[in-house]
Each structure stands twice: as C-alpha cells, then as structure tokens.
Amino acid sequence: MQFEPKLVILDFDGTLVEFPRDFLFEQALRIVRHLEHPAVERSLLEECFADFDFFRFVSHTNAPGFIELFWQHFDWAGYPQCALLEGAAEFCSFLRTAGVPMALATARIGTEAVLLDSLEYTGLSAHFHCLAGRCGEHQDWQDKVPQIRHVCERVGVSPADAMIVGDIPADIISARAAGVGYSVAVLSGGIRRAVLERTQPDLIVEGVHELLGFFQAKRP
C-alpha cells in the first residue's frame, strides 16, 4: 500500500465493532412470522446477507411494502452494543500517535453528540476528529457521500487525500462518488469477498488488524 492518507475515514458497524448478525437474523425471523410471510430458513437469510441482498427472499412484487413494514417492526431499542473487532483499538491508537486524523462516517442516524454517546463504550471516542451520521431516516442509508464530504470539510482535507475503510459495497461506491483517494474493504462485516471485489476497492483485507500491519510496515 503506497497511499499516504491525510485523513482516514472509518465506518463503524462491521468495521470497528462486530455487526450483530445474530440479532438481525432473529429480528428477521420474528418479523416474518408477525407479518405472516411464508417461513424463511435462517440459512437463506445468512446467504442473502453475505451477498448484500438481504431482502432477496421477498418476491419482487411484495418487496417495497414488506421492507417498509419490516423496518417499522424492527426492535431498534434492543440493538446491542457490540464488541470491538480485532485490532480496532490498536489501529486507532496507532493512527493517533502517528498524527493521522480520523473521522467516523456511519449509516446510523444521529448528530455528532448522539454518535459520540453511542461510541463512548468502545473507548475510541478520543481518537476521532469528527463523526458524521445520517441526517434523517429518509436519507438513503447506503449513500455516505454527505458524511464523507462533511468530515473532509471539517478536517480540512481534500477527499483525494483521504482513505476510507468500510465493510459493505456502499462504502466503496460512496467513496468513489465523493472522490476519495483510496478505498479499503474489510471482510469483518460478513460480506463475501466476491461481492466487495465487484466494487473495485483499492485493497481488501480481513479486518482493520490486517490494515494496521500495512501502516506499521511503512513506519520505523
């Protein structure tokens, strides 16, 4: 990896902390029963998730209405606090010591203060220069261009000099649309490598622990 970022933009769920797949699948099975949708095997949900096509089990004609009802019945209050992924704390600490600014760009809805509270339990809060989430529930959750542009402006770094690290295709697609100079896809979120490869990131790694190794190798 030859790129020298002046800003590292990190996703949260699936990149720094474990994505709660068990919670998602349990919610899906519960809501499927509640909405009297034909039974779905958990194995199918797992396949759909890994392919980044979670609602593939719903017929195309019924999909829009079902998906809307699905999220209305989703237990957001029960969304768990997830453990840090391997190397996340070390990666953030290394960048801070090296003087590389970090920002968080997440699909979660909330102001910077709300996101800061959500991040507090991880111990990573002090490492970030700024945090950006979705500004409202009607904004496309896969479009992170607004968050990317916001954090770049806040830090005073051109997107071309920034690196983004994320676990889903939308992270890489948004990075390209925003003009980010270097994109890294991590497999720690559970999305198949082949699915991420189709978005053509500059680098694919198992997780931030592996990315840390690239940074450490470049510095004495």
pLDDT of 1-21, one tens digit each?
788 999 999 999 999 999 999
| Structural domain count of the chain | 2
For the stretch 91-112, pLDDT in tens is 999 999 999 999 999 988 888 9
Contact between residue 215 and residue 95 where contact means Cβ atoms under 8 Å apart: yes
Tell me the residue range of the domain where 41 lies.
Answer: 21-78
What pLDDT shows up at residue 215?
A: 87
Residue 2 counted as domain residue? no
CA separation, residue 184 to residues 1, 42, 49, 138, 205 (Å): 10, 29, 20, 27, 7
Question: What average pLDDT does this structure show over 38-44?
Answer: 93
Contact between residue 124 and residue 143 where contact means Cβ atoms under 8 Å apart: no
Same domain, 53 and 98: no
Integer Cα distance of 58 and 102 in angstroms: 39
Long-range CB contacts (< 8 A, 24+ apart) of 197-205?
198/169, 199/169, 199/172, 199/173, 200/172, 201/172, 202/1, 202/3, 203/1
Contact between residue 45 and residue 70 where contact means Cβ atoms under 8 Å apart: no
Same domain, 64 and 122: no
What pLDDT shows up at residue 56?
A: 92
Same domain, 163 and 205: yes
The answer on pLDDT for 220 being more than 70 is no
For the stretch 166-209, pLDDT in tens is 999 999 999 999 999 999 999 999 999 999 999 999 999 999 99
Same domain, 158 and 55: no
Same domain, 68 and 100: no
What pLDDT shows up at residue 207?
A: 97
The answer on pLDDT for 81 being more than 60 is yes
For the stretch 126-174, pLDDT in tens is 899 999 998 866 577 889 999 999 999 999 999 999 999 999 999 999 9
Integer Cα distance of 196 and 107 in angstroms: 18
What pLDDT shows up at residue 138?
A: 56
Long-range CB contacts (< 8 A, 24+ apart) of 22-28?
23/78, 23/79, 23/80, 24/49, 25/49, 27/74, 27/75, 28/54, 28/70
What pLDDT shows up at residue 66?
A: 87
Comparison of pLDDT for 219 and 101, the residue scoring more? 101
Residue 1 counted as domain residue? no
Long-range CB contacts (< 8 A, 24+ apart) of 50-59?
50/190, 50/191, 50/192, 50/195, 51/191, 51/192, 51/195, 52/168, 52/169, 52/191, 52/192, 52/195, 54/28
Same domain, 26 and 114: no
pTM for the full predicted model: 0.92
What pLDDT shows up at residue 61?
A: 67
Same domain, 95 and 62: no
Same domain, 26 and 93: no
Residue 42 counted as domain residue? yes
Boundary (domain end) residue, out of 37, 62, 78: 78
What pLDDT shows up at residue 214?
A: 87
- For the packed helices 21-34 and 63-73, what is the interaxial angle rounded to 10 degrees? 110
Boundary (domain end) residue, out of 40, 56, 78: 78
Boundary (domain end) residue, out of 30, 50, 78: 78
What pLDDT shows up at residue 62?
A: 73
